[in-house]
Amino acid sequence: MTAKIIDGKTIAAKVREELAQKIVSENGQDMPVLAVILVGDNEASRIYVRNKKKAAAEVGIGCEVLEFSDTIGEHALLEVIDELNKNSYINGIIVQLPLPKHIDSLHILSKIRPEKDVDGFNPYNAGLLACREPDAIVSATPRGILKLLESTGIELTGKHAVVIGRSNIVGRPVSMLLLNQDCTVSITHSKTENLSEIVRQGDIVVAACGCAKLVKKEWIKEGAVIIDVGINRVDGKLCGDVDFDAVCEKAAFITPVPGGVGPMTVAMLLENTYEAFKKQQKLKTDHVCQCGGHGCGCHHK
Ligand code: NAD
């Protein structure tokens, strides 16, 4: 068997194109606005933020980047978030990770208003996802993975999905999403024993561990669907967590690195921002506020 390539680049471009059309046709002068907090001088973070800003502009989403030195304290950062939470012009807030070590990332993320938490990293949104609540804002990478799986046309119900990695930003939320799609989910991690045996049971394998080419052909069930989230650099070349060429001989579908999950992440962040904007617009028109004009961020009728 030679695996079909799941072309994340093309699927993401379609998501962005449809989003751009919706934003132009539905919203006139009103545009969604995303605020991105960037702390410190991490080169990779700068590149990610630049890409997000460019992609936002292309679909008609405003993007304001707020940059801070890595000496900023947690309290000062919380004040920034508080301001953005109250600012009715801002629809989505994300904090580019990683933050400097002296700042408690989870504490910062937990202070973003859940309706503006378009990365879905606030524990409240993670909790909604775990409770299968449709109102959860689901983080971009897992949402993109689901879209890639849907593009294959395979039925997810009842499938055994093996997730490698249990991080808050990929492994856990993607496991919850797959569970909510009625998959039987095995979550594996760095302490898992007999990893290859568990992976071999997977009809779907999501590799998100950051270990270059860890997943071998012998680990794969014939005809499995392989989603490779990993981004690793070996001898200056990008590769995923899956031994791509060999695994292609056994899998039915596989995502490449680059060009698979990566492009979907940015596209789904934009989609999350648009959806947050629409919900906030609806709240403004539906809601008669009790705050008396004292700055809760709502529009008074
Ligand atoms: P992380 O370091 O926070 O978590 C890695 C997880 O993998 C941990 O839960 C750990 O237990 C597990 N793990 C590590 N080594 C393992 C091993 N040998 N066997 C089994 N499990 C192992 O990483 P993350 O933020 O979840 O990201 C994972 C990978 O995905 C990284 O390469 C990252 O760059 C990439 N990533 C890509 C995108 C994208 O848009 N394409 C988005 C986020 C992360």
Question: How do the domains of the chain map onto residue ranges?
Answer: 27-113, 140-261
- Rounded CA gap, 108 and 278, in Å? 25
Tokens coding 162: 């093996």
**Does the domain spanning 140-261 belong to CATH 3.30.70.20?**
no
pLDDT in tens, 276-290: 999 999 888 886 555
Ligand 1 closest atom vs CA 266: 40
Q: Give the residue whose CA is nearest to atom 22 of ligand 1.
A: 190
Q: Does 27-113 match 140-261 in CATH topology?
A: yes
Q: Is pLDDT of 291 > 80? A: no
Contact call for residues 227 and 195 (beta carbons, < 8 A): no
Tens of pLDDT, residues 132-144: 999 999 999 999 9
Contact residues for 198 (Cβ-Cβ < 8 A; gap 6+): 162, 186, 188, 192
**Candidates 106, 121, 209: which one to mutate for ligand 1, based on the most atoms within 8 Å of Cβ?**
209
| The CATH fold of domain 27-113 | Rossmann fold (3.40.50)
The alpha carbon of 125 and the centre of ligand 1 are apart by a number of angstroms equal to: 21
For ligand 1, atom 40: residue with the closest CA: 262
Q: Quick one: pLDDT band at residue 116, thresholds 50, 70, 90? A: very high
**Rounded distance between C-alpha atoms, residue 259 and residue 263, angstroms:** 6
Q: What is the Cα–Cα distance from 261 to 147, expressed in whole angstroms?
A: 10
Q: How far is ligand 1, taken at its centre, from the CA of residue 261, in Å?
A: 13
Q: How far apart are CA 144 and CA 68, in angstroms?
A: 29
- pLDDT value, residue 29: 77
Instruction: Report the catalytic residues.
Output: 52, 96, 119
Name the pLDDT band for 162 (thresholds 50, 70, 90). very high
Residue owning the nearest CA to atom 34 of ligand 1: 231
